[in-house]
Amino acid sequence: MRQERLYRTEGLVLRELDYAETDRILTLLTPEGRLSALVHGIRRPTSRKVGHLGMFYRSQLLLARGRNLDIITQAESLEEFEGLRGDLMRFTYACYIGELVERLSREGEGGELYTLTVDALRRIADEADPRLWTRYFELRLLSYTGYRPELFHCLSCQQPIRPEVNVFVASEGGLFCPRCGAAQSRGRSVSVNAQKVLRYLATRAPEEVAGLRISESTHAEVEALLYEYLEYTLERELKSVDFLRRLRRELRESAASRPAAEQP
């Protein structure tokens, strides 16, 4: 059956690339999957589309099928995640989520992934602790794509993981008990608190996660473990992680120097 040339869909802008003099290519996540589409004239000052197709905007779209790229002919913004605007840290977390989705998703894969990503952006834009919701999203995304690490049974002896310092091996995909982990040269020790947080985030609903409070040291440990595992899974470094680390360092240095600068 012949496809209609025009079609409608919702789309979430994950990435943008300037093209020619006034055009832009957008990477979109839709309920039907990920796709790239061309927007003519969006970089002109008079373009009506520019206010509806910003980074991480969720929009209702009308597209025309093209030979190489589909073309966005109409766009109406549905949600702009205002909390990301004017907050560089939150916006950087959103960029990290967008990079993960782009790297781990496949063309034509949408549905639950679209819902998961939209919900994550809402929470990162509005909730008090965007780091917590980033960790939650990482584990949900890994589960959805079939890469969720094993957190409940030793990968070697298959015994239940006990509440003690265990060993996580990114290349093997999860935890080893201390006895089996002793033979893993690439393992990292994982504290009991970090293991509890990982298991909680992997199995609980968002309304339960909302009340979770995590110490700074446990946050850092869980984050480092998941970054290592994601980079191993993707077989590449994540660009937004490096920027996030530099941004944090600059903010800490700025905060540390501010009292001295304010002295008369």
Question: What tokens appear for 222 in the block?
Answer: 């869980």
49 confidence band (pLDDT: 50, 70, 90): confident
What is the mean predicted confidence (pLDDT) over 55-82? Answer: 94
What is the mean predicted confidence (pLDDT) over 3-18? Answer: 90
Entry pTM: 0.90
For the cut 80, the answer to whether the pLDDT of residue 110 exceeds it is no
Which helix (DSSP H) or strand (DSSP E) does residue 249 occupy? helix 239-262
Rg (the chain; Cα; Å): 21
Q: What is the DSSP string of 52-98?
A: TS-TT-EEEEEEE--SSSEEEEEEEEEE--GGGTT-HHHHHHHHHHH
Rounded to the nearest integer, the mean pLDDT of the chain is 91
216 confidence band (pLDDT: 50, 70, 90): very high
- In contact, 62 and 70? CB cutoff 8 Å: no
pLDDT at 263: 43
The order of strands in the sheet holding 188-190 is: 174-176, 166-169, 188-190
For the cut 90, the answer to whether the pLDDT of residue 107 exceeds it is no
Which helix (DSSP H) or strand (DSSP E) does residue 122 occupy? helix 112-126
> 22-46, pLDDT tens digit by residue?
999 999 999 998 999 999 999 998 8
Which helix (DSSP H) or strand (DSSP E) does residue 34 occupy? strand 33-39
pLDDT at 1: 43
Question: What tokens appear for 114 in the block?
Answer: 């679209």
In percent, the amount of the chain with pLDDT more than 70 equals 95
In percent, the amount of the chain with pLDDT more than 90 equals 77
For the cut 90, the answer to whether the pLDDT of residue 262 exceeds it is no
pLDDT at 253: 82
What is the mean predicted confidence (pLDDT) over 49-75? Answer: 93
Reduce the DSSP state of residue 133 to 3 states and report it: helix
Q: Residue 23, class by beta-carbon neighbours within 10 Å (0-12 exposed, 13-18 middle, 19+ buried)?
A: middle
Question: What tokens appear for 56 in the block?
Answer: 């991480």
> 75-101, pLDDT tens digit by residue?
999 999 999 998 999 999 999 999 999
What type of residue sits at position 111? G
